[in-house]
Structure 1
Amino acid sequence: MQAARLFLPAAVLLTLAILWELVVWGLEVPKWIVPSPSAIWLAFWEMRALLGIHVAQTMLEVAIGIGIAVAAGVSVAAAINFSPLLQRAVYPLLVISQTVPILALAPLLIIWFGFGIAPKVIVVTLFCFFPIAVNTSDGLTSTEPELIDLFRSMGATWLQIWRKVRLPAALPYFFSGLKIAATYSVTGAIVGEWVGAKQGLGIYMLRSSAAFKTAQVFSAIVITSLLSIMLFLAVFALERGMMPWHFDER
């Protein structure tokens, strides 16, 4: 069943790749304008060792950034769930924060924190924080009041209610936000690297583009997409492991 689900999108991708190859070959499009899929694969294979170094750097930034975003997002969601006053004060600020273009902040982060890993980690955190915080907050407030009243009538403490009622109810929302954040995270790291970095997929793209090595740019784009998909699938697997009952109900 799972193989049947994957067959159709794989067939579509293969068909598009073949058409792409034929169009580039038939129209004799210069590879520095639009490279063929075979040229992209060749560029990847030739630069695989260097790409491995850049991918490792980008994934390090992603791992640290997501970790900070999860810790901060869950903490903020829990805090505003405890205090209705804090929720009215902070929740609108979370929404307003998304109107600030992160790409415009990236140069300032370079000025403040230099060309090390810190600016890139901060950009990843900014990309990932909002969906985690908002989804977790919505999950914590979605608990049925009747269920909370039932636990209170049985003498449950607020901590027991949190552990037995609110947190299980919020887990599906948390993982929804984490899946969104996971797909954003690699892009966030690359945006940070575009502004200033020594290693990473972002700086690899910039250097390849400046040298008109378009096939290398495309290979980095493909790798970026694959990394995002892998992170999404990793979160999905973690979700299934932590919430088997949620999938049994479907």
Structure 2
Amino acid sequence: MKPQKPLLERQSAISPARPSGFARQLLKAFLPPLIMGGVLFCLYVFVRGNLEPHRQFLMPGVSDLWSQAFGIAAVREELLERSITTMSIALAGLGISIPTGIFLGIIMFRFYVMERAVFPYLVALQSIPIMAIIPLIQSALGFGFFPKVLIVALFTFFAIPTTLLLGLKSVDRGIIDLFRLQGASWFVMLRKAGLPSAAPALFAGLRISGSLAVIAAIVSELFFLSGRGGLGQMLMNTKIDFKYEQMYAALTVASILSICVYVFFNWLGNRLFSQWHESARRNK
């Protein structure tokens, strides 16, 4: 009988799996959404084909979108300008909700009484339709830039402290005990153990909030029609003027912006956690 090699020797003989090439990673990243986009496009064509001929203008075709919207230089310039306005509102709202949410999540984790006091109001804020309190915001703050930013912050706030609090509560108790044996302060444990362990959960909340930010900015513009607006105002104006091709163009650009914000936070999370966290390794 042939003797077997020791276990350690057999394990060392197994070469680690080679990382995927750049082309393969691009294929894995873009092929599934492209396939899903093709399915949705076929569904759109099917629904449009089943409309009466006099109603097909409500769902313009690809050629109409190009000839009446994307193919016109003035429309492209307007889409660019309004996209910048919408993104400025969305990013300003995230600039408020992200640091405020992170701070509140840490406070709730540090003081259990604060979690019990604040969490019901977070749930209530999420449960109350934001559009129902927009008239109150209009009455109190007017129709300027800041009310729109505040609406975005309200839309995107809930996911940030809740995911961070969940991540902080999921830190391994053995690691916490090890820091305590070394006499580390609570702030040191938070900085070196809590936040790194909770960061993947936090970035899940950031992906949700980021994709909602553009939607919230457009919703805010639907109620604040004064001044130079963004894509939301363009959607309203083109619908009133029966320019459905330009309305669908604005809707397409808004969807692309929302997806780009989501992809950015997803890419940033993978860059930060790809070397050590399982959630990022599964994407490879």
TM-score > 0.5, shorter chain as reference? yes
The code of the aligned residue for 1:201 comes to L
1:202 is matched with which residue?
232
SS at match of 1:88: helix
The code of the aligned residue for 1:34 comes to M
1:171 is matched with which residue?
199
The CA deviation at 1:54 is 0.7
Aligned identity (percent) is 33
CA displacement, residues 175-234 of structure 1 (integer Å, 9 cap, x when unaligned): 000000011111100110000133111111000111111111111111111111100111
Aligned with residue 71 of structure 2, among 35, 45, 49? 45
Aligned with residue 139 of structure 1, among 167, 184, 189? 167
SS at match of 1:35: coil
CA distance in 1, matches of 2:243, 2:66: 13
1:2 maps onto 2:25 in alignment: yes
TM-score (structure 2 length as normaliser)? 0.81
2:59 is matched with which residue?
34
CA distance in 2, matches of 1:176, 1:68: 18
1:236 maps onto 2:266 in alignment: yes
Assess if the C-alpha contact under 8 Å between 1:21 and 1:38 holds in 2. Answer: no
CA distance in 1, matches of 2:230, 2:170: 40
SS at match of 1:98: helix
SS at match of 1:143: coil
Aligned with residue 277 of structure 2, among 241, 246, 250? 246
After superposition, the Cα gap between the structure-2 partners of 1:110 and 1:41, relative to the gap in structure 1 and judged at 3 Å, is farther
Which stretch has the larger CA shift, 29-38 or 225-234?
A: 29-38
Assess if the C-alpha contact under 8 Å between 1:32 and 1:212 holds in 2. Answer: no
After superposition, the Cα gap between the structure-2 partners of 1:179 and 1:30, relative to the gap in structure 1 and judged at 3 Å, is same
The CA deviation at 1:102 is 0.4
Root-mean-square deviation over aligned CA pairs:
2.1
Count of residues in Structure 1 that have an aligned counterpart in Structure 2: 250
The code of the aligned residue for 2:263 comes to L
The CA deviation at 1:15 is 5.7
After superposition, the Cα gap between the structure-2 partners of 1:188 and 1:241, relative to the gap in structure 1 and judged at 3 Å, is same
The CA deviation at 1:32 is 3.5
CA displacement, residues 225-247 of structure 1 (integer Å, 9 cap, x when unaligned): 11111001111121123223225
SS at match of 2:144: coil
Assess if the C-alpha contact under 8 Å between 1:120 and 1:189 holds in 2. Answer: yes
Which stretch has the larger CA shift, 97-106 or 29-38?
A: 29-38
After superposition, the Cα gap between the structure-2 partners of 1:20 and 1:92, relative to the gap in structure 1 and judged at 3 Å, is closer
Aligned with residue 158 of structure 1, among 179, 186, 192? 186
CA displacement, residues 75-112 of structure 1 (integer Å, 9 cap, x when unaligned): 11011111011111111211121111101112222222
Structure 2 residues without counterparts, runs of 5 or longer: 1-23
Assess if the C-alpha contact under 8 Å between 1:31 and 1:215 holds in 2. Answer: no
Which stretch has the larger CA shift, 41-50 or 151-160?
A: 41-50
CA distance in 2, matches of 1:154, 1:228: 45
SS at match of 2:127: coil
Aligned with residue 226 of structure 1, among 250, 253, 256? 256
CA displacement, residues 161-185 of structure 1 (integer Å, 9 cap, x when unaligned): 1111101111011100000001111
1:128 is matched with which residue?
156
Greater C-alpha Rg:
2
Assess if the C-alpha contact under 8 Å between 1:139 and 1:171 holds in 2. Answer: yes
Which stretch has the larger CA shift, 129-138 or 17-26?
A: 17-26
TM-score (structure 1 length as normaliser)? 0.92
CA distance in 2, matches of 1:138, 1:214: 44
Assess if the C-alpha contact under 8 Å between 1:53 and 1:200 holds in 2. Answer: yes
After superposition, the Cα gap between the structure-2 partners of 1:243 and 1:101, relative to the gap in structure 1 and judged at 3 Å, is same
The CA deviation at 1:45 is 3.2
Structure 1 residues without counterparts, runs of 5 or longer: none
Aligned with residue 215 of structure 1, among 216, 221, 245? 245
